[in-house]
Amino acid sequence: MFADYDEVYTKQIYSGKGVNVTEANKERDNAFRSLKNFLNGYRKMATMPNYQLAEDLFEVFKAYSLNLDKMSYSSQTAQMKKLIEELETSENIQKLNALSLLPAFNEMKSKHEAFELIFAEQAGANANLRQMKNASVIRRDLEKILKSFLGLITAMKDVQDWKLLYADLNELVKAAKNSTLNKSENNIQQS
């Protein structure tokens, strides 16, 4: 029972993956902004070949929000999935290819997938932490078991083989009680 208490008492209070999630989101945002900004600039140069393709692709970005990178993790993830699905249509892949933007698109997609993996790990780790019993609950159970054990030892104190064990434990219990009382008395005297 003490091993269970010790495990919960010393458990982390959070998954520790927040920094990784933040970094993965930052990389995803940068990839998104780079592709969006390139398309926005290219579509404005009507003298360039294929500027209309950039305009068409920029409209796809608009449909899923140009401020996607400013959304919450969950909203951004949902919108990014839809954006990627739309950009993966054969028509849009051809446009990305004509503009030599397939590598940039693939980078954005891979950064998004990496974010999803790390975010899922964090969610799972946090869920596991929440599933663990509370240290106070386990401590109460531990105290009950110790009281029962001490009660058994006390009941057996007159049996020859138990006398020494009872004497040793009785001294430990007295010392523990006195250390608690002394602390309280010291705190009162110092006040």
- Residue 83 burial (CB count, 10 A): 23
Q: Are 57 and 93 in contact (CB under 8 A)?
A: no
Cα distance between the two ends of the chain: 38
Q: Pick 41 or 10 by higher pLDDT.
A: 41
Between the alpha carbon of residue 134 and those of residues 9, 11, 131, 141, the distances in Å are 8, 10, 9, 11
- CA pair distance 165, 148, nearest whole angstrom: 15
User: Per-residue pLDDT tens for 73-110?
Assistant: 989 999 999 999 999 999 999 999 999 999 999 999 99
pLDDT for 19 equals 87
User: Per-residue pLDDT tens for 41-59?
Assistant: 999 999 998 999 999 999 9
3-state helix, strand, coil in the chain (%, to 5): 80, 0, 20
Q: What would you report as the CA-atom Rg of the chain, rounded to the nearest whole angstrom?
A: 32
> How many Cα atoms occupy the beta-carbon half-sphere of 156 within 13 Å?
14
pLDDT for 167 equals 85
Residue 113 has pLDDT above 90, yes or no: yes
Q: Are 25 and 44 in contact (CB under 8 A)?
A: no
Q: Are 65 and 79 in contact (CB under 8 A)?
A: yes
pLDDT for 185 equals 53
Sign of the torsion formed by the C-alpha atoms of 13, 17, 21 and 22: positive
The confidence band for 8, taking pLDDT boundaries of 50, 70 and 90, is low
The confidence band for 9, taking pLDDT boundaries of 50, 70 and 90, is very low
pTM: 0.62
Between the alpha carbon of residue 150 and those of residues 95, 170, 177, 179, the distances in Å are 79, 9, 14, 19
User: Per-residue pLDDT tens for 132-176?
Assistant: 666 666 677 777 888 888 888 888 888 888 888 888 888 888 887
